[in-house]
């Protein structure tokens, strides 16, 4: 589903757990495997997803 009123900020921050830049074709939100979607690792914010609990993954289409 493509929204036509997304903010045009070209400075989307890429998190370590992201496989691709958000907004690209084949990109989808996925549960962060490092923290299992909790956004936290122990008492720290999960570095892979930045505490969001989700990462941007590539959903390859053949």
Beta bridge partners of residue 30, listed in sequence order: 55
Q: Choose between 12 and 38: whose C-beta lies nearer to Zn ion.
A: 38
* DSSP string covering 8-50: --S-PPPPTT-SS-TTSTTEEEEE-TTTTTSSEETTEE-TTTT
Please report, as residue ranges, which positions from 6 to 45 form the binding site for Zn ion (by CB under 5 A): 32, 34-35
Residue 47 CB, shortest distance to Zn ion, in Å, is: 8
Q: Does 57 bind Zn ion (CB under 5 A)?
A: no
State the residues that interact with Zn ion by CB under 5 A.
32, 34-35, 46, 48-49
């Amino acid at each position: 589903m493509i929204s036509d009123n997304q903010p045009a900020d070209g400075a989307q921050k890429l998190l370590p757990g992201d496989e691709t830049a958000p907004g690209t074709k084949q990109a989808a939100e996925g549960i962060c495997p490092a923290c299992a979607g909790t956004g936290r690792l122990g008492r720290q914010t999960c570095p892979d997803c930045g505490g969001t609990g989700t990462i941007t993954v590539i959903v390859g289409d053949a």
